[in-house]
Copies of this chain bind each other. A is one copy, B any other.
Amino acid sequence: MTINQQILLDNRPTGEAVASNFKLVSSPIPELRDGQVLVRHHFLSLDPYMRGRMNDSKSYAAPQPLGAVMIGGTVGEVAESRHPQFVVGDKVVGMGGWQEYSVVNADEPGALRKVDATRIPLSAYLGAVGMPGVTAWYGLVKIIAPEAGDTLVVSAAAGAVGSAFGALAKARGCRVVGIAGGPEKSAYIVNELGFDAAIDYKMHGDARSLSNAIKEACPDGVDGYFENVGGGVLDAVMARMNAFGRIAVCGMIAGYDGAPLPMANPALILINRLKVQGFIVSEHMDIWPEALNELGTLVATGKLHPRESIAQGIAAAPEAFLGLLKGKNFGKQLVKLC
């Protein structure tokens, strides 16, 4: 009998998330029923949104239940099938969770999608050609809606969303400036990802200093900002927004551990007639095909080739996830499972 190693949410964080919030267990794989598919996961995706699900409070979605397998995106291949549209060996993307195998009711809309792993590496479907890429696309195209020549800024620029944002913005003729942590990531987003400029937020102790750095990198001001971070970074960018600027709020990672971080000067929303809009990409499934098509082309043609941080084996997932929350990853954080 095949054994499936799984990671459960064992208890909820009080403040910072820690490794002991998780628990590794082994379970037998149940027999398939009609319509089900067994997927052997190749990669698990780790993403900041998972931190929000660990809390018991109101968030985007229902909290992650205690004692259940942590949710998460996965790519893999079909290991067994009792569904007519899937055969063994098919490469598939789904929400298999933090485990080595998943049993999927393949008739559920969106549960399992076959993908082409010849033009595009399988892992990319969890990053640039997956949820993070579509997230960048939605915020850019549907909220920021830039014109060629606009100056755009993205925080957490070296991450999966940020790297896709940079490529999509460059494809639209924008100047794109990334905020990242440390000299390595700053060099990476300019030299490998093609950003026009990088700002290392770790060089700046307060919002004023960071704001001055943004002014230097954005001499014409900021027309659009893609927010992955919140807190002092948001304050610093807001101070540099042009009239009619748009801020797409995708993440507030800085506030996940409990204490809400205030926005220093919301009157800027009025003074500069800003639009500040939060979104979650899974609520906009209608735009996924168009977004994935553009992102897939960028990856297949080599215009978007972000780095990946790959942890080995399911047992490594908690530490890799906690590192992600602290910005230790370099590019898309994955766990390789086989």
Determine, out of A175-183, A270-278, A291-299, A321-329, the stretch whose residues face the partner at the interface.
A270-278
Check: A234 CB closer than 8 A to any chain B CB: yes
Interface residues of A in 278-315 (CB under 8 A from B): 278-280, 283
How far apart are the CA atoms of A234 and B265 in the complex, in Å? 13
In the complex, which residues of chain B have a beta carbon less than 8 angstroms from the beta carbon of A167?
none
Check: A267 CB closer than 8 A to any chain B CB: yes
In the complex, which residues of chain B have a beta carbon less than 8 angstroms from the beta carbon of A264?
260, 262
Question: Quick one: CB contact mask for A102-140 with B, threshold 8 Å, 1 for yes?
Answer: 000000000000000000000000000000000000000
Check: A153 CB closer than 8 A to any chain B CB: no
How far apart are the CA atoms of A252 and B272 in the complex, in Å? 13
B270 touches A278 (CB 8 A): yes
**Residues on A facing B (Cβ under 8 Å):** 58-60, 230, 234, 249-252, 255, 260-267, 269-280, 283
- Give chain B nearest CB distance to A129 CB in angstroms: 24
In the complex, which residues of chain B have a beta carbon less than 8 angstroms from the beta carbon of A275?
275-278
B269 touches A277 (CB 8 A): yes
How far apart are the CA atoms of A277 and B268 in the complex, in Å? 10
Copies of this protein in the complex: 2
Q: Look across to chain B and name the residue whose beta carbon is closest to the beta carbon of A250.
A: B270
A60-B273, A275-B277 known; 14 other A-B pairs, CB under 8 Å?
A: A58-B271, A230-B266, A251-B270, A260-B265, A260-B266, A261-B267, A262-B263, A263-B266, A269-B276, A269-B277, A271-B278, A273-B278, A273-B283, A275-B275
Q: Look across to chain B and name the residue whose beta carbon is closest to the beta carbon of A260.
A: B265
Q: Look across to chain B and name the residue whose beta carbon is closest to the beta carbon of A276.
A: B276
With A262-B264, A263-B266 known as contacts, the answer to whether A278 contacts B272 (CB < 8 A) is yes
In the complex, which residues of chain B have a beta carbon less than 8 angstroms from the beta carbon of A266?
230, 234, 249, 252, 260-263, 266
How far apart are the CA atoms of A275 and B246 in the complex, in Å? 10
In the complex, which residues of chain B have a beta carbon less than 8 angstroms from the beta carbon of A58?
271
Of the candidates A249, A250, A251, A274, the one having the most CB atoms from chain B within 10 angstroms of its own CB is A249
Of the candidates A251, A266, A277, the one having the most CB atoms from chain B within 10 angstroms of its own CB is A266
18 A-B pairs with C-beta separation under 8 A: A59-B271, A60-B270, A250-B270, A251-B270, A252-B266, A255-B267, A260-B264, A260-B265, A260-B267, A266-B266, A269-B278, A270-B280, A273-B280, A275-B276, A275-B277, A275-B278, A276-B276, A276-B277
How far apart are the CA atoms of A205 and B55 in the complex, in Å? 30
Q: Look across to chain B and name the residue whose beta carbon is closest to the beta carbon of A274.
A: B278
A252 touches B267 (CB 8 A): yes
Q: Look across to chain B and name the residue whose beta carbon is closest to the beta carbon of A255.
A: B267
- Give chain B nearest CB distance to A139 CB in angstroms: 11
How far apart are the CA atoms of A275 and B143 in the complex, in Å? 10
- Give chain B nearest CB distance to A310 CB in angstroms: 28
How far apart are the CA atoms of A107 and B264 in the complex, in Å? 44
How far apart are the CA atoms of A263 and B274 in the complex, in Å? 15
In the complex, which residues of chain B have a beta carbon less than 8 angstroms from the beta carbon of A249?
266, 269-270
